[in-house]
Homo-oligomer: A and B are copies of this chain.
Amino acid sequence: MKSDSINLSTNSKMEFVDISSMIQKHISKSGIMNGVCHIYNPHTTAGLTINEGADPAVQDDIISAFKKIVPFDHPYRHQEGNSPAHILTTLTGSSVNVFIENGSLKLGTWQRIFFTEYDGPRSRKIWCKIITD
């Protein structure tokens, strides 16, 4: 199946956006019942992750720790000032794979899929491709 592009927009410099329901909508539209959904982030200052969605404080804590882990006051050579965002992109990863069963995303009890913005706010997109069983 050809990949689909889904648009989203972010509102802050660093922000996790829960895209789980967008992905479910994409799966439902495809009519595919069983397979693997490959979700891909085509940007170089944002990533994709799967983590807890129930308590929004978890996302805040991850962002606040990332600001401490990645050096912000550092002699970077890239002139656009967004090197920390490129570093976090490699640390987070550019894609996630989730299973589809009976037409539904199969996530763990507390899991949600997040677009991780590291250099927003911006208009962004993600690409999805489903491989059937």
Contacts and interface: CB of A to CB of B under 8 A. Distances in A.
A18 interface: no
A49 interface: yes
Given A58-B86, A61-B76, A50 B94 contact: yes
Contact of A106 (B64, B107, B127, B133): B127
Copies in the complex: 3
Interface of A, secondary structure class, is: mixed
Contact of A131 (B36, B41, B57): B36
A73 to B, nearest CB: 11
Contacts of A34: 2
A9 to B, nearest CB: 17
Interface residues of A, number: 62
A108 interface: yes
A51 interface: yes
A12 interface: no
Given A58-B83, A78-B61, A49 B98 contact: no
A90 B49 contact: yes
